[in-house]
Amino acid sequence: MSDTYDYDLVVVGGGPAGSSAAFEAAKNGTRVALIEKEESIAETVRTSGVTWIKNIKEFGIPDDCFNPIRNFSFCSPNNEVTISDSVPRAAVLDVRKTYRWLAKQAEKSGADIFVKTNVNEVIKNDKGDIIGVRASEPNGKITFNSKVVIDASGFPSTVCKAMGYVTQWERFGAGAEYEVKAENVDSETWWLMVGQQYSPAGYAWIFPLGDNIVRIGVGVGKPESDVDPTQRLNELIDNRVGPIKKLGKITQLEFHYGLIPNDGLSRQTVFNNLILVGDSAGQANPLVLEGIRYAIRFGRVAGKVASDAIKSGNTDKNSLYPYEDHWRKEIESKINSAGRVQDRWIGLTDEEWDKELNIIKELKSEEFLDFIKADFGLSNMVKLATRHPKLAVRQLFNLVKGKN
């Protein structure tokens, strides 16, 4: 059996980038198909779900989709610091609930959602430009003809790879985590654990979701390290290393594993009739390898730009470029600065991490969050260097600004 559908816009991937693009385009009067290969939206969780409350409010995400965080604890092999805030500014998302809420918003706006539908081929015109995709689903094959395709397929970059525009990411983070029920949990505090025993090229974490549920995970940078994050995670839990021992009895509920690009903003993200967004575009903060806020924000921009181009009757690269221009102006310099900090962090010894935490503990909560969010605006960094005249912080300022 083979069905054929004609849409204005086809969005491949039902994660936060895809659902946000579909929502904005459908709201703008465009006929949209949102295609997800799994049995349901967010059937598999591939992220720890860290984000920021300011963005959550901006996107309208309901309060029951996240757990607020106001204390930020770091530990290295021989040091431990906590930065506390009077109000929560960070959050850990209920990833499944949040992604399904985003997809439901797209559906309410008029997008058609196809689950259990795996895109495996692109359709090109005689000029070699994409004009649709072919997919398989339990009852056979489906052809989706469209004027524009948005590749929101995440790390695999299914569409743009099939078009021959990109190859696999060379640098990326591999993360493994258990969602567990723990005996002792401070629901307002997250932990980041750094140093060789936790991860030789990354970090470990404890992120609370409320109701005594936490996510314990390990992220490892590839190809910088060949350590298996799942093996290292099991070792840390079995040996109750660092703050994990404070959790008391642990009951495992779910296992999550995911990959996130760490090649920086190296890809072109618009082609004739095609936009890349989210992990497909490499839109991730390299400091803590989070990108959900970018996926939602730039997914909405992609949906609006695609919809406007479709209405104009011209969907070539130039017509879609306002999307790329928008996100590059907003985050490119910040991500490049964060990349320089990350390159430094990857090379630190355990002793150097102990000292690095002494720099971090000097920061006020809002300064710390600007830093960890990679919000390296000029005014923020000038304030940081002015308020903290010590040599170590000034060196950090110079690093972010790209100086020697």
Is residue 216 assigned to a domain?
Answer: yes
In this structure, the number of other CB atoms found within 10 A of the CB of residue 138 comes to 7
What pLDDT does residue 42 have?
A: 97
Question: Are residue 82 and residue 184 in the same domain, yes or no?
Answer: yes
- Whether residues 200 and 319 fall in one domain: no
Provide the pLDDT for residue 403: 44
Grade residue 358 by pLDDT with cuts at 50, 70 and 90: confident
pLDDT for res 400? 56
Q: What is the pLDDT of residue 370?
A: 81
Residues 245 and 161 in one domain: no
Give, for 334, the enclosing helix (H) or strand (E): helix 317-346
Q: Are residues 272 and 150 in the same domain?
A: yes
Contact 150, 18 (CB under 8 A): yes
Between 347 and 402, where is the model more confident? 347
User: Which of 233, 261, 289 is a domain's end point?
Assistant: 261
Write down the mean pLDDT value for the chain. 93
Stated as kind and residue range, the H or E segment containing 83 is strand 79-84
pLDDT in tens, 201-227: 999 999 999 999 999 999 999 999 999
Co-location of 112 and 238 in the same domain: no
- Residue 104 sits in the same domain as residue 114: yes
pLDDT in tens, 66-123: 999 999 999 999 999 999 999 999 999 999 999 999 999 999 999 999 999 999 999 9
Give residue-wise pLDDT tens across range 303-354. Answer: 999 999 999 999 999 999 999 999 999 999 889 888 888 888 887 899 999 9
Look at the block and give the residue holding tokens 């909405």: 300
Rounded Cα gap, residues 246 and 190, in angstroms: 13
Domain count, the chain: 3
* Global pTM exceeds 0.85: yes
Do residues 40 and 107 both lie within one domain? yes
In a shared domain, residues 230 and 257: yes
Predicted confidence at residue 391, as pLDDT, reads 43
Please give the residue that has the higher pLDDT: either 362 or 93. 93
pLDDT of 393 strictly over 80: no
Q: Which of the pair, 404 or 256, is modelled with greater confidence?
A: 256
Q: Say how many C-beta atoms besides its own lie within 10 A of residue 44's C-beta.
A: 13
Residue 397: the pLDDT is 54
* Residue 354, domain extent: 336-400
pLDDT of residue 167: 94
Query: CA-CA distance, 254 to 257, in Å (whole number)?
Result: 10
Average pLDDT over every residue of 153-169: 97
> Is 246 found in the same domain as 125?
no
Asked which of 278, 298, 330 is the last residue of a domain, the reply is 330
- Provide the token pair at 103: 């997809």
Last residue of a domain, one of 288, 309, 330: 330
Looking up residue 120, the CATH number of its domain turns out to be 3.50.50.60
197 to each of 78, 150, 290, 318, 404, how far by Cα in Å?
11, 41, 22, 49, 30
Q: Are 277 and 16 in contact (CB under 8 A)?
A: no
Q: What digits encode the pLDDT tens for the residues 240-283?
A: 999 999 999 999 999 999 999 999 999 999 999 999 999 999 99
pLDDT of residue 374: 81
Structural domain includes residue 193: yes
